[in-house]
Protein backbone atom coordinates (compact mmCIF):
# COMPACT_ATOMS: atom_id res chain seq x y z
CA UNK A 1 0.00 0.00 0.00
CA UNK A 2 1.42 3.37 -1.01
CA UNK A 3 1.49 6.10 1.60
CA UNK A 4 -1.06 8.91 1.17
CA UNK A 5 0.52 11.15 3.77
CA UNK A 6 2.13 14.32 2.36
CA UNK A 7 2.78 16.46 5.44
CA UNK A 8 5.56 14.83 7.40
CA UNK A 9 7.13 16.31 10.50
CA UNK A 10 10.81 15.85 11.34
CA UNK A 11 10.09 13.31 14.09
CA UNK A 12 10.56 9.57 14.34
CA UNK A 13 6.84 8.95 14.82
CA UNK A 14 5.79 10.98 11.79
CA UNK A 15 8.49 9.71 9.43
CA UNK A 16 7.88 6.09 10.42
CA UNK A 17 4.37 6.38 8.96
CA UNK A 18 5.85 6.52 5.45
CA UNK A 19 5.21 3.35 3.45
CA UNK A 20 7.30 1.75 0.74
CA UNK A 21 5.87 2.87 -2.62
CA UNK A 22 4.36 0.28 -4.92
CA UNK A 23 6.73 1.18 -7.76
CA UNK A 24 9.62 -0.26 -5.72
CA UNK A 25 7.69 -3.41 -4.78
CA UNK A 26 6.88 -3.98 -8.46
CA UNK A 27 10.31 -3.15 -9.91
CA UNK A 28 12.49 -5.93 -8.46
CA UNK A 29 15.54 -4.76 -10.45
CA UNK A 30 17.58 -1.55 -10.33
CA UNK A 31 20.98 -0.36 -11.56
CA UNK A 32 23.58 1.22 -9.27
CA UNK A 33 26.32 3.46 -10.76
CA UNK A 34 29.66 4.14 -9.01
CA UNK A 35 31.58 6.58 -11.20
CA UNK A 36 33.97 9.35 -10.26
CA UNK A 37 37.67 10.33 -10.06
CA UNK A 38 38.48 6.85 -8.74
CA UNK A 39 37.40 5.53 -12.17
CA UNK A 40 40.53 7.08 -13.72
CA UNK A 41 43.12 4.84 -11.98
CA UNK A 42 40.47 2.10 -11.73
CA UNK A 43 42.60 -0.06 -9.47
CA UNK A 44 41.92 -2.27 -6.47
CA UNK A 45 43.50 -5.43 -5.09
CA UNK A 46 41.86 -8.65 -6.17
CA UNK A 47 40.12 -10.84 -3.62
CA UNK A 48 42.68 -13.63 -3.78
CA UNK A 49 45.59 -11.24 -3.17
CA UNK A 50 44.63 -10.62 0.47
CA UNK A 51 47.34 -12.42 2.49
CA UNK A 52 45.24 -13.79 5.33
CA UNK A 53 42.31 -14.88 3.22
CA UNK A 54 39.94 -14.50 6.15
CA UNK A 55 37.88 -11.79 7.75
CA UNK A 56 39.82 -11.82 11.01
CA UNK A 57 42.45 -9.20 10.19
CA UNK A 58 40.64 -5.87 9.89
CA UNK A 59 43.77 -3.97 8.91
CA UNK A 60 44.34 -6.34 6.01
CA UNK A 61 40.70 -5.88 5.00
CA UNK A 62 41.20 -2.15 4.45
CA UNK A 63 44.71 -2.44 3.00
CA UNK A 64 43.48 -4.97 0.44
CA UNK A 65 40.03 -3.44 -0.06
CA UNK A 66 38.67 -4.81 -3.38
CA UNK A 67 36.42 -1.73 -3.84
CA UNK A 68 38.09 0.52 -6.44
CA UNK A 69 36.02 3.50 -5.26
CA UNK A 70 38.07 3.38 -2.01
CA UNK A 71 41.30 4.11 -3.92
CA UNK A 72 42.05 7.35 -1.99
CA UNK A 73 42.01 5.46 1.31
CA UNK A 74 43.63 2.25 0.14
CA UNK A 75 46.59 4.11 -1.41
CA UNK A 76 47.46 5.49 2.07
CA UNK A 77 48.79 2.07 3.11
CA UNK A 78 52.34 2.71 1.91
CA UNK A 79 53.25 -0.99 1.86
CA UNK A 80 50.04 -2.02 0.11
CA UNK A 81 49.43 -2.92 -3.56
CA UNK A 82 47.39 0.22 -4.31
CA UNK A 83 50.14 2.55 -3.07
CA UNK A 84 52.68 0.57 -5.07
CA UNK A 85 50.51 0.81 -8.20
CA UNK A 86 50.09 4.57 -7.68
CA UNK A 87 53.83 5.20 -7.29
CA UNK A 88 54.76 3.07 -10.29
CA UNK A 89 52.03 4.48 -12.55
CA UNK A 90 51.78 8.14 -11.59
CA UNK A 91 54.80 8.93 -9.44
CA UNK A 92 55.44 9.50 -5.75
CA UNK A 93 54.05 13.06 -5.66
CA UNK A 94 51.05 12.67 -7.98
CA UNK A 95 47.97 13.99 -6.18
CA UNK A 96 44.58 12.27 -6.22
CA UNK A 97 43.21 15.72 -7.08
CA UNK A 98 44.50 15.24 -10.62
CA UNK A 99 41.98 12.46 -11.13
CA UNK A 100 39.19 14.99 -10.63
CA UNK A 101 40.55 17.09 -13.49
CA UNK A 102 40.89 14.01 -15.70
CA UNK A 103 37.35 12.90 -14.86
CA UNK A 104 35.95 16.29 -15.85
CA UNK A 105 37.84 16.10 -19.14
CA UNK A 106 36.43 12.62 -19.86
CA UNK A 107 32.85 13.90 -19.62
CA UNK A 108 33.20 15.37 -23.09
CA UNK A 109 32.69 11.79 -24.32
CA UNK A 110 29.76 10.93 -22.05
CA UNK A 111 26.38 10.06 -23.61
CA UNK A 112 23.71 9.79 -20.90
CA UNK A 113 21.00 8.96 -23.45
CA UNK A 114 22.88 5.85 -24.60
CA UNK A 115 23.27 4.73 -21.00
CA UNK A 116 19.58 5.24 -20.30
CA UNK A 117 18.60 3.20 -23.35
CA UNK A 118 20.84 0.31 -22.28
CA UNK A 119 19.47 0.38 -18.74
CA UNK A 120 15.96 0.30 -20.16
CA UNK A 121 16.95 -2.65 -22.35
CA UNK A 122 18.30 -4.47 -19.28
CA UNK A 123 14.80 -4.64 -17.80
CA UNK A 124 15.76 -2.49 -14.81
CA UNK A 125 13.08 -0.07 -13.67
CA UNK A 126 15.16 2.30 -11.59
CA UNK A 127 18.72 3.62 -11.50
CA UNK A 128 20.67 5.02 -8.53
CA UNK A 129 23.63 7.29 -9.30
CA UNK A 130 26.42 8.04 -6.84
CA UNK A 131 26.34 11.84 -6.58
CA UNK A 132 29.15 12.02 -3.98
CA UNK A 133 31.26 9.13 -2.77
CA UNK A 134 33.71 9.11 0.13
CA UNK A 135 36.30 11.17 -1.80
CA UNK A 136 33.86 14.11 -1.65
CA UNK A 137 33.78 14.75 -5.42
CA UNK A 138 30.36 16.04 -6.56
CA UNK A 139 28.72 14.90 -9.79
CA UNK A 140 26.71 18.08 -10.09
CA UNK A 141 27.65 21.80 -10.06
CA UNK A 142 26.50 22.52 -6.54
CA UNK A 143 25.63 25.91 -5.12
CA UNK A 144 27.57 24.73 -2.04
CA UNK A 145 31.04 23.86 -3.39
CA UNK A 146 33.65 22.06 -1.32
CA UNK A 147 35.39 24.54 1.04
CA UNK A 148 38.59 22.47 1.14
CA UNK A 149 39.02 21.62 -2.55
CA UNK A 150 38.26 24.24 -5.21
CA UNK A 151 36.46 22.88 -8.30
CA UNK A 152 36.00 19.48 -6.63
CA UNK A 153 32.87 18.82 -8.68
CA UNK A 154 31.81 18.20 -12.27
CA UNK A 155 31.44 21.00 -14.77
CA UNK A 156 28.58 19.13 -16.47
CA UNK A 157 25.45 18.42 -14.47
CA UNK A 158 25.88 14.65 -14.50
CA UNK A 159 23.08 14.11 -11.99
CA UNK A 160 20.59 16.25 -13.89
CA UNK A 161 21.46 15.00 -17.37
CA UNK A 162 21.21 11.37 -16.36
CA UNK A 163 17.95 12.00 -14.48
CA UNK A 164 16.42 13.55 -17.61
CA UNK A 165 17.64 10.71 -19.87
CA UNK A 166 16.34 8.00 -17.53
CA UNK A 167 12.96 9.61 -17.02
CA UNK A 168 12.59 9.97 -20.78
CA UNK A 169 12.85 6.15 -20.90
CA UNK A 170 10.22 5.75 -18.16
CA UNK A 171 12.73 4.76 -15.47
CA UNK A 172 12.79 5.93 -11.86
CA UNK A 173 15.85 7.90 -10.76
CA UNK A 174 17.67 7.68 -7.43
CA UNK A 175 20.55 9.55 -5.85
CA UNK A 176 23.27 8.09 -3.59
CA UNK A 177 25.12 10.43 -1.22
CA UNK A 178 27.89 9.47 1.19
CA UNK A 179 26.68 11.18 4.33
CA UNK A 180 28.88 9.25 6.72
CA UNK A 181 32.30 9.62 5.11
CA UNK A 182 33.92 12.56 3.34
CA UNK A 183 37.71 12.45 3.16
CA UNK A 184 37.93 16.13 2.21
CA UNK A 185 36.72 16.97 5.74
CA UNK A 186 38.38 14.13 7.64
CA UNK A 187 41.34 12.64 5.81
CA UNK A 188 42.63 10.14 8.39
CA UNK A 189 43.28 6.74 6.87
CA UNK A 190 40.53 4.26 7.72
CA UNK A 191 42.29 1.21 9.14
CA UNK A 192 39.70 -0.25 11.53
CA UNK A 193 35.96 -0.53 11.98
CA UNK A 194 36.27 2.15 14.67
CA UNK A 195 37.84 4.49 12.12
CA UNK A 196 35.00 3.71 9.72
CA UNK A 197 32.37 4.72 12.23
CA UNK A 198 34.19 7.91 13.25
CA UNK A 199 32.15 10.07 10.89
CA UNK A 200 33.25 13.56 9.83
CA UNK A 201 30.39 15.20 11.72
CA UNK A 202 32.78 16.73 14.23
CA UNK A 203 34.74 18.39 11.42
CA UNK A 204 34.02 22.11 11.24
CA UNK A 205 31.15 22.88 8.88
CA UNK A 206 30.50 19.32 7.69
CA UNK A 207 26.94 18.91 8.97
CA UNK A 208 25.90 22.21 7.41
CA UNK A 209 27.68 21.26 4.19
CA UNK A 210 26.01 17.84 3.86
CA UNK A 211 22.61 19.25 4.88
CA UNK A 212 22.85 21.90 2.17
CA UNK A 213 23.66 19.26 -0.43
CA UNK A 214 20.74 17.03 0.51
CA UNK A 215 18.21 19.85 0.45
CA UNK A 216 19.65 21.04 -2.88
CA UNK A 217 19.47 17.55 -4.41
CA UNK A 218 15.87 17.14 -3.25
CA UNK A 219 14.76 20.53 -4.55
CA UNK A 220 16.64 20.42 -7.85
CA UNK A 221 16.17 16.78 -8.93
CA UNK A 222 13.30 15.38 -6.82
CA UNK A 223 14.79 11.89 -6.86
CA UNK A 224 12.50 8.88 -6.63
CA UNK A 225 14.99 7.24 -4.28
CA UNK A 226 17.33 8.77 -1.68
CA UNK A 227 20.17 6.36 -0.89
CA UNK A 228 22.40 7.47 1.98
CA UNK A 229 25.58 5.55 2.86
CA UNK A 230 27.52 4.70 6.04
CA UNK A 231 25.41 6.92 8.32
CA UNK A 232 24.70 10.57 9.07
CA UNK A 233 26.40 12.83 11.61
CA UNK A 234 23.19 14.09 13.22
CA UNK A 235 19.96 12.22 13.86
CA UNK A 236 17.83 15.36 13.92
CA UNK A 237 19.44 16.58 10.71
CA UNK A 238 18.59 13.27 9.05
CA UNK A 239 14.99 13.64 10.25
CA UNK A 240 14.88 17.15 8.75
CA UNK A 241 16.17 15.80 5.44
CA UNK A 242 13.69 12.92 5.35
CA UNK A 243 10.76 15.20 6.17
CA UNK A 244 11.79 17.56 3.37
CA UNK A 245 12.16 14.59 1.04
CA UNK A 246 8.87 12.82 1.83
CA UNK A 247 6.96 16.10 1.59
CA UNK A 248 8.60 16.90 -1.75
CA UNK A 249 8.38 13.36 -3.18
CA UNK A 250 5.55 11.50 -1.35
CA UNK A 251 6.14 8.42 -3.52
CA UNK A 252 9.85 8.49 -2.73
CA UNK A 253 11.95 5.85 -1.02
CA UNK A 254 14.86 5.90 1.44
CA UNK A 255 17.19 3.21 2.68
CA UNK A 256 18.45 2.14 6.11
CA UNK A 257 21.92 3.73 6.25
CA UNK A 258 21.09 6.78 8.37
CA UNK A 259 22.39 5.70 11.78
CA UNK A 260 23.87 8.64 13.74
CA UNK A 261 26.43 8.82 16.57
CA UNK A 262 24.11 11.13 18.53
CA UNK A 263 20.94 9.13 17.82
CA UNK A 264 18.90 6.54 19.64
CA UNK A 265 20.22 3.01 19.17
CA UNK A 266 17.36 0.52 19.07
CA UNK A 267 17.68 -2.83 20.82
CA UNK A 268 17.50 -4.64 17.48
CA UNK A 269 19.78 -2.23 15.56
CA UNK A 270 22.39 -4.93 14.91
CA UNK A 271 19.97 -7.82 14.53
CA UNK A 272 21.03 -10.24 11.79
CA UNK A 273 18.21 -12.51 10.58
CA UNK A 274 19.02 -16.21 10.39
CA UNK A 275 20.10 -17.43 6.98
CA UNK A 276 21.42 -14.09 5.78
CA UNK A 277 24.67 -13.73 3.88
CA UNK A 278 26.84 -10.64 3.38
CA UNK A 279 26.96 -7.35 5.29
CA UNK A 280 23.90 -5.74 6.88
CA UNK A 281 24.18 -2.14 8.13
CA UNK A 282 22.92 -1.26 11.62
CA UNK A 283 19.28 -0.21 11.65
CA UNK A 284 18.46 3.49 12.31
CA UNK A 285 15.22 4.71 13.92
CA UNK A 286 13.66 5.58 10.53
CA UNK A 287 14.01 3.54 7.33
CA UNK A 288 11.96 2.24 4.41
CA UNK A 289 13.95 -0.81 3.27
CA UNK A 290 16.95 -2.85 4.42
CA UNK A 291 20.06 -2.94 2.18
CA UNK A 292 22.31 -5.97 2.65
CA UNK A 293 25.59 -5.63 0.73
CA UNK A 294 26.84 -8.66 -1.18
CA UNK A 295 24.18 -10.58 0.74
CA UNK A 296 20.71 -12.09 0.57
CA UNK A 297 17.89 -13.37 2.73
CA UNK A 298 16.69 -16.92 2.11
CA UNK A 299 13.17 -16.57 3.52
CA UNK A 300 10.36 -14.04 3.67
CA UNK A 301 10.76 -11.46 6.44
CA UNK A 302 8.30 -8.76 7.56
CA UNK A 303 10.13 -6.00 5.71
CA UNK A 304 11.26 -5.21 2.19
CA UNK A 305 14.92 -5.26 1.26
CA UNK A 306 17.33 -4.64 -1.58
CA UNK A 307 20.56 -6.53 -2.08
CA UNK A 308 23.33 -4.52 -3.66
CA UNK A 309 26.64 -5.60 -5.13
CA UNK A 310 29.00 -5.09 -8.04
CA UNK A 311 29.13 -7.45 -10.98
CA UNK A 312 32.55 -8.44 -9.66
CA UNK A 313 34.14 -7.75 -6.26
CA UNK A 314 34.18 -3.97 -6.75
CA UNK A 315 31.43 -1.42 -7.24
CA UNK A 316 33.53 1.05 -9.24
CA UNK A 317 35.30 -0.21 -12.36
CA UNK A 318 38.45 -2.16 -11.51
CA UNK A 319 40.66 -2.58 -14.57
CA UNK A 320 42.11 -5.76 -13.05
CA UNK A 321 38.75 -7.53 -13.05
CA UNK A 322 37.62 -9.14 -16.25
CA UNK A 323 34.88 -11.27 -17.66
CA UNK A 324 35.77 -14.25 -15.48
CA UNK A 325 35.44 -12.13 -12.31
CA UNK A 326 31.89 -11.01 -13.06
CA UNK A 327 28.65 -12.74 -12.23
CA UNK A 328 27.37 -14.86 -15.08
CA UNK A 329 24.01 -13.96 -16.64
CA UNK A 330 22.61 -17.14 -15.07
CA UNK A 331 23.83 -16.09 -11.62
CA UNK A 332 22.19 -12.68 -12.04
CA UNK A 333 18.94 -14.32 -13.12
CA UNK A 334 19.03 -16.60 -10.08
CA UNK A 335 19.65 -13.60 -7.81
CA UNK A 336 16.66 -11.77 -9.31
CA UNK A 337 14.37 -14.77 -8.90
CA UNK A 338 15.52 -15.49 -5.34
CA UNK A 339 15.08 -11.87 -4.27
CA UNK A 340 11.57 -11.73 -5.71
CA UNK A 341 10.64 -14.94 -3.88
CA UNK A 342 11.84 -13.60 -0.55
CA UNK A 343 10.50 -10.02 -0.60
CA UNK A 344 13.51 -8.24 -2.03
CA UNK A 345 14.95 -6.33 -4.98
CA UNK A 346 18.34 -6.42 -6.68
CA UNK A 347 20.37 -3.22 -7.10
CA UNK A 348 23.12 -4.41 -9.45
CA UNK A 349 26.05 -2.08 -9.85
CA UNK A 350 27.61 -0.91 -13.10
CA UNK A 351 31.08 0.60 -12.90
CA UNK A 352 31.73 2.85 -15.93
CA UNK A 353 35.33 3.36 -17.06
CA UNK A 354 37.29 6.57 -16.71
CA UNK A 355 36.72 7.36 -20.40
CA UNK A 356 32.96 7.64 -19.74
CA UNK A 357 32.24 4.34 -21.49
CA UNK A 358 30.59 1.26 -20.05
CA UNK A 359 32.78 -1.81 -19.71
CA UNK A 360 31.75 -4.16 -22.57
CA UNK A 361 31.49 -7.33 -20.41
CA UNK A 362 29.25 -5.48 -17.95
CA UNK A 363 27.16 -3.98 -20.74
CA UNK A 364 26.84 -7.43 -22.30
CA UNK A 365 25.46 -8.84 -19.07
CA UNK A 366 22.85 -6.11 -18.94
CA UNK A 367 21.76 -7.06 -22.46
CA UNK A 368 21.62 -10.74 -21.49
CA UNK A 369 19.58 -10.17 -18.35
CA UNK A 370 17.25 -7.93 -20.35
CA UNK A 371 16.58 -10.80 -22.77
CA UNK A 372 16.00 -13.16 -19.82
CA UNK A 373 13.56 -10.76 -18.17
CA UNK A 374 11.72 -10.30 -21.45
CA UNK A 375 11.09 -14.05 -21.49
CA UNK A 376 10.76 -14.75 -17.74
CA UNK A 377 10.09 -11.38 -16.15
CA UNK A 378 6.40 -12.12 -15.69
CA UNK A 379 7.47 -14.36 -12.78
CA UNK A 380 9.65 -11.64 -11.24
CA UNK A 381 8.31 -8.14 -11.75
CA UNK A 382 4.89 -6.97 -10.62
CA UNK A 383 4.63 -10.00 -8.33
CA UNK A 384 4.52 -10.60 -4.60
CA UNK A 385 6.27 -13.39 -2.63
CA UNK A 386 4.36 -16.45 -1.46
CA UNK A 387 5.17 -18.68 1.51
CA UNK A 388 5.38 -22.35 0.48
CA UNK A 389 4.83 -25.23 2.94
CA UNK A 390 8.23 -26.69 2.03
CA UNK A 391 11.52 -24.88 1.36
CA UNK A 392 12.94 -27.53 -0.97
CA UNK A 393 12.04 -30.25 -3.44
CA UNK A 394 14.34 -33.18 -4.25
CA UNK A 395 16.98 -31.44 -2.10
CA UNK A 396 16.85 -28.21 -4.11
CA UNK A 397 15.62 -24.86 -2.73
CA UNK A 398 12.31 -23.51 -4.00
CA UNK A 399 10.37 -20.26 -3.74
CA UNK A 400 7.22 -18.74 -5.16
CA UNK A 401 5.77 -15.49 -6.46
CA UNK A 402 2.32 -14.61 -7.69
CA UNK A 403 0.18 -11.99 -9.35
CA UNK A 404 -3.58 -11.82 -9.84
CA UNK A 405 -3.64 -14.54 -12.48
CA UNK A 406 -0.82 -16.96 -11.73
CA UNK A 407 1.44 -18.59 -9.17
CA UNK A 408 5.09 -19.04 -10.18
CA UNK A 409 7.21 -21.80 -8.68
CA UNK A 410 10.97 -21.15 -8.75
CA UNK A 411 13.27 -24.17 -8.42
CA UNK A 412 16.87 -23.07 -7.87
CA UNK A 413 18.70 -25.81 -9.70
CA UNK A 414 17.87 -28.84 -11.79
CA UNK A 415 16.49 -31.73 -9.71
CA UNK A 416 17.65 -35.20 -10.57
CA UNK A 417 14.11 -36.56 -10.66
CA UNK A 418 11.90 -36.28 -13.70
CA UNK A 419 8.75 -36.35 -11.59
CA UNK A 420 8.29 -33.89 -8.72
CA UNK A 421 5.84 -33.37 -5.89
CA UNK A 422 5.40 -29.84 -4.59
CA UNK A 423 3.17 -28.78 -1.70
CA UNK A 424 1.11 -25.73 -2.72
CA UNK A 425 -0.06 -23.02 -0.31
CA UNK A 426 -3.61 -23.17 1.04
CA UNK A 427 -6.30 -20.93 -0.44
CA UNK A 428 -4.65 -20.79 -3.83
CA UNK A 429 -7.79 -21.27 -5.89
CA UNK A 430 -8.22 -23.56 -8.87
CA UNK A 431 -5.16 -24.28 -11.00
CA UNK A 432 -6.30 -24.23 -14.63
CA UNK A 433 -2.99 -24.62 -16.45
CA UNK A 434 0.69 -25.36 -15.91
CA UNK A 435 3.73 -24.59 -18.03
CA UNK A 436 7.48 -24.39 -17.56
CA UNK A 437 8.91 -21.11 -18.83
CA UNK A 438 11.52 -22.19 -21.37
CA UNK A 439 11.01 -25.92 -20.86
CA UNK A 440 8.47 -28.69 -21.30
CA UNK A 441 6.07 -30.26 -18.83
CA UNK A 442 4.36 -33.62 -19.36
CA UNK A 443 1.53 -34.85 -17.16
CA UNK A 444 0.51 -32.95 -14.07
CA UNK A 445 -2.16 -33.25 -11.42
CA UNK A 446 -3.17 -31.75 -8.09
CA UNK A 447 -4.46 -33.80 -5.18
CA UNK A 448 -5.20 -32.07 -1.86
CA UNK A 449 -2.71 -29.24 -2.52
CA UNK A 450 0.01 -31.61 -3.71
CA UNK A 451 1.20 -30.80 -7.23
CA UNK A 452 2.62 -33.76 -9.15
CA UNK A 453 4.32 -32.99 -12.45
CA UNK A 454 6.42 -34.86 -14.94
CA UNK A 455 9.21 -32.90 -16.63
CA UNK A 456 9.89 -33.79 -20.25
CA UNK A 457 12.63 -31.18 -20.64
CA UNK A 458 14.29 -28.88 -18.13
CA UNK A 459 15.05 -25.32 -19.10
CA UNK A 460 18.81 -24.98 -19.47
CA UNK A 461 19.09 -22.40 -16.67
CA UNK A 462 20.07 -22.21 -13.03
CA UNK A 463 16.48 -21.48 -12.02
CA UNK A 464 13.48 -23.40 -13.33
CA UNK A 465 10.20 -21.46 -13.33
CA UNK A 466 6.73 -23.03 -13.54
CA UNK A 467 3.63 -20.95 -14.17
CA UNK A 468 0.36 -22.14 -12.63
CA UNK A 469 -2.65 -20.39 -14.16
CA UNK A 470 -5.30 -19.60 -11.54
CA UNK A 471 -9.06 -19.21 -11.48
CA UNK A 472 -10.20 -17.61 -8.25
| CATH assignment at residue 186 | 3.20.20.80
374 and 390 share one domain: no
Q: Provide the CA 32 distance to its chain's centre, in angstroms.
A: 6
- Beta 225-229 vs 172-178: how paired, if at all? parallel
Position 3 scores a pLDDT of 43
Position 2 scores a pLDDT of 42
278 and 370 share one domain: yes
Neighbours of 151 (CB within 10 A): 13
413 and 266 share one domain: no
Of 236, 97, 217, 117, the C-alpha closest to 167 is 117
183 and 331 share one domain: yes
314 and 417 share one domain: no
CB proximity list for 180: less than 8 A, separation 6 or greater: 199, 200, 228, 229, 230, 231, 232, 233, 257
317 and 402 share one domain: no
SS3 per residue for the chain = CCCCCCCCCCCHHHHCCCCCCHHHHHHCEEEEECCCHHHCCCCCCCHHHCCCCCCCCHHHHHHCCCCHHHHHHHCCCCCCHHHHHHHHHHCCCCCCHHHHHHHHHHHHHCCHHHHHHHHHHCCCCEEEEEEECCCCCECCCCCCCCCCCCCCECCCCHHHHHHHHHHHCCCEEEEEEECCCCCCCCCCCCCCHHHHHCCHHHCCCHHHHHHHHHHHHHHHHCCCEEEEECCCCCHHHHHHHHHHHHHHCCCCEECCCCCCCCCCCCCCCCCCCCCCCCECCCCCCCCCCECCECCCCCCCCCCCEEEEEECCCCCCCCCCCCHHHCCCHHHHHHHHHHHHHCCEEEEEEECCCCCCCCCHHHHHHHHHHHHHHHHHHHHCCCCEECCCCCCEECCEEEEEEECCCEEEEEECCCCCCCEEEEECCCCCCEEEEEEECCCEEEEEEEECCEEEEEEEECCCCCCEEEEEEEEC
23 and 71 share one domain: yes
Of 388, 373, 385, 402, the C-alpha closest to 469 is 402
Report the chain (472 residues): mean pLDDT per 10 consecutive residues: 66 97 98 98 90 59 95 96 98 97 97 98 98 98 97 98 98 98 94 86 95 98 98 97 98 97 90 90 96 94 96 97 94 97 98 97 98 96 97 94 96 88 92 93 92 87 92 82
Residue 4 covered by a domain: no
What is the domain-level CATH number for residue 393?
Answer: 2.60.40.1180
Model pTM? 0.96
403 and 441 share one domain: yes
Residue 20 covered by a domain: yes
Structural domain for 455, as ranges: 386-471
Cα distance between residue 191 and residue 31, in whole Å: 30
User: Of 379, 399, 416, which closes a domain?
Assistant: 379
Q: N- to C-terminal Cα distance for the chain?
A: 22
Residue 7 covered by a domain: no
CB 231 within 8 A of CB 196: no
User: Of 379, 404, 421, which closes a domain?
Assistant: 379
Residue 6 covered by a domain: no
297 and 411 share one domain: no
31 and 59 share one domain: yes
350 and 448 share one domain: no
Residue 77 covered by a domain: yes
As for how many domains the chain has, the answer is 2
439 and 350 share one domain: no
Residue 221 dihedral angles phi and psi, to the nearest 5°: -115, -15
Residue 2 covered by a domain: no
Position 264 scores a pLDDT of 87
Position 458 scores a pLDDT of 85
Residue 155 covered by a domain: yes
Residue 313 covered by a domain: yes
Position 57 scores a pLDDT of 56
User: Of 319, 348, 379, which closes a domain?
Assistant: 379
Amino acid sequence: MTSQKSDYAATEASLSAHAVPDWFRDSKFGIFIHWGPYSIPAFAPLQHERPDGSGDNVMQAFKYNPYAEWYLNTMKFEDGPTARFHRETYGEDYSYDNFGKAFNASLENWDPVAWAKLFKQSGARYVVLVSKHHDGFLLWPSKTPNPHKPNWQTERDVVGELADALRAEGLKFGIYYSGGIDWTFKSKCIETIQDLMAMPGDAEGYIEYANAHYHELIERYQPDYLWNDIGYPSQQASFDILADYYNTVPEGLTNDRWISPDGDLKADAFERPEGMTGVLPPKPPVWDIRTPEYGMFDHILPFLWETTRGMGHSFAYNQREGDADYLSPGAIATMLASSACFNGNVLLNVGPRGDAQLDPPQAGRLESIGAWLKAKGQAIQDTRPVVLPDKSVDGINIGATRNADALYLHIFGKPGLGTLEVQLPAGLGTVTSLEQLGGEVGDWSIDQSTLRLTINEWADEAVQIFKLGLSI
